[in-house]
């Protein structure tokens, strides 16, 4: 039976683009990590080493920088769409392009109570993400945008229990009626369209995720994730699907009884590994199909 090339993609990963807007004395900063991945008519590059249809990853990097100047960054979803559209439109051999962008947030430094015009301090623990995918093969120039956030670390110090679970012969875990629930959330949501006020939408989704995490009494991290994800879809008709990946960052109650101390949920050891890992998708029935939206560059390995 023949040995053949299967799926393949290539691109430039982690181009660190910093864009300063200095049209006035009050500068703006956008700080990005951009990865491109192209698919198309590249079989010859693999089978014979023929590079005549291969746009170098170095050129892809140059394009990320040039676009940051020529068209500006705007919302990262728009920037990613523009780059993906360029690769599929202008490079004949490319049939599909995925562009992923991480954005790091900066705040202005306050000086004498006023925000400084050109000095910034890195803000926030979390990272805003976006992926745009344009696929011209088997689709009529289909486009997907997946926005997201990662490293969103949240914790509630009560309002969480874990009881009534299945017990097998390897189960030793006691039931917990009041525990810390903490996670470092990765959330990614796929839009049903590409004409969205991205920044506003991001802010709203992030706020819903935080609020639901806060107000839902948790009977398990699974239930909390469902409540978070379904609330996002309920609030925004333009979100077709949301995927949540949540490590259960265990906080173990310190045993202080040998020292004559009680510990009613006050002192915890924050453990590193292992951790529970809960992952789910919440989807809208009848939404447009996901197509290539979720095929991350890392999916091959």
Stretch that binds a second copy, among 74-82, 136-144, 194-202, 262-270 (CB under 8 A): 262-270
Rounded Cα distance, 48 and 44, in Å: 5
Stretch that binds a second copy, among 23-31, 76-84, 133-141, 195-203 (CB under 8 A): 23-31
Counting beta carbons within 10 angstroms of the beta carbon of residue 209, is it exposed (0 to 12), middle (13 to 18) or buried (19 or more)?
buried
- Out of 24, 140, 195, 285, the only residue in the binding site for a second copy (CB under 8 A) is 285
Q: Does 138 bind a second copy (CB under 8 A)?
A: no
Task: Tokens 């309920």: give the residue.
Answer: 234
From 245, 167, 198, select the one nearest 75 (Cα to Cα).
Answer: 198
Catalytic residues, by residue number, are 12, 57, 250
- Site map (CB under 8 A) of a second copy, residues 103-132, x = contact: ---x--xxxx---x-xxxxxxxxx------
Nearest distance from C-beta of residue 258 to a second copy, angstroms: 5
Task: Tokens 């796929």: give the residue.
Answer: 190
- Site map (CB under 8 A) of a second copy, residues 147-186, x = contact: -x-x-xxxxxxxx--xxxxxxxxxxxx------x-----x
Q: Does 193 bind a second copy (CB under 8 A)?
A: no
Measured from the Cβ of residue 284, the count of other Cβ atoms closer than 10 Å reads 17
Q: Does 61 bind a second copy (CB under 8 A)?
A: yes
Asked if 213 and 154 count as a contact pair (C-beta separation under 8 A), the reply is: yes
Rounded Cα distance, 284 and 241, in Å: 6
- Out of 74, 141, 266, 289, the only residue in the binding site for a second copy (CB under 8 A) is 266
Ranges assigned E (strand) in 166-259: 181-191, 239-248, 251-253
- Out of 194, 204, 219, 238, the only residue in the binding site for a second copy (CB under 8 A) is 219
Measured from the Cβ of residue 272, the count of other Cβ atoms closer than 10 Å reads 7
Rounded Cα distance, 41 and 44, in Å: 8
Closest CB to a second copy among residues 120, 140 = 120
For the record, the structure tokens of 84 come out as 């993906």
Asked if 40 and 95 count as a contact pair (C-beta separation under 8 A), the reply is: yes
Nearest distance from C-beta of residue 144 to a second copy, angstroms: 16
Stretch that binds a second copy, among 75-83, 137-145, 194-202, 286-294 (CB under 8 A): 286-294
Q: Does 222 bind a second copy (CB under 8 A)?
A: yes
For the record, the structure tokens of 103 come out as 């954005």
Nearest distance from C-beta of residue 135 to a second copy, angstroms: 17
Measured from the Cβ of residue 166, the count of other Cβ atoms closer than 10 Å reads 5
Closest CB to a second copy among residues 56, 138 = 56
- Out of 89, 141, 203, 279, the only residue in the binding site for a second copy (CB under 8 A) is 279
């Amino acid at each position: 039976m023949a040995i053949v090339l299967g799926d393949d993609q290539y691109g430039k990963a982690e181009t660190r683009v910093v864009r300063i807007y200095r049209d006035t004395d009050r500068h703006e900063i956008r700080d990005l990590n951009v990865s491109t991945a192209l698919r198309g008519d590249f079989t010859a590059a693999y089978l014979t080493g023929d590079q005549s249809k291969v746009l170098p990853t170095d050129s892809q990097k140059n394009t990320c920088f040039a676009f940051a100047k020529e068209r500006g960054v705007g919302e990262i979803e728009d920037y990613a769409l523009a780059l993906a559209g360029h690769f599929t439109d202008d490079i004949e051999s490319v049939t599909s392009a995925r562009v992923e962008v991480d954005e790091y947030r900066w705040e202005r430094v306050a000086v004498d109570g006023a925000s400084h015009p050109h000095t910034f301090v890195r803000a926030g623990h979390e990272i805003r993400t976006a992926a745009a995918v344009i696929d011209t093969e088997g689709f009529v120039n289909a486009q997907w945008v997946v926005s997201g956030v990662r490293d969103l670390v949240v914790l509630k110090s009560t309002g969480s229990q874990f009881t009534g679970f299945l017990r097998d012969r390897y189960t030793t875990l006691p039931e917990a009626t009041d525990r810390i629930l903490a996670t470092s959330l990765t959330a990614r949501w796929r839009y049903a369209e590409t004409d969205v006020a991205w920044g506003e939408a991001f802010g709203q989704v992030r706020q819903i995720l935080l609020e639901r995490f806060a107000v839902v009494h948790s009977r398990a991290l699974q239930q909390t994730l469902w409540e978070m994800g379904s609330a996002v879809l309920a609030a925004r008709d333009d979100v077709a699907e949301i995927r949540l990946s949540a490590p259960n960052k265990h906080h173990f109650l310190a045993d202080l009884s040998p020292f004559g101390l009680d510990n009613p949920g006050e002192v915890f050891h924050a453990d590193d590994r292992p951790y529970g890992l809960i992952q789910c998708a919440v989807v809208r029935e009848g939404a447009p199909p996901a197509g290539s939206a979720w095929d991350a560059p890392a999916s091959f390995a």
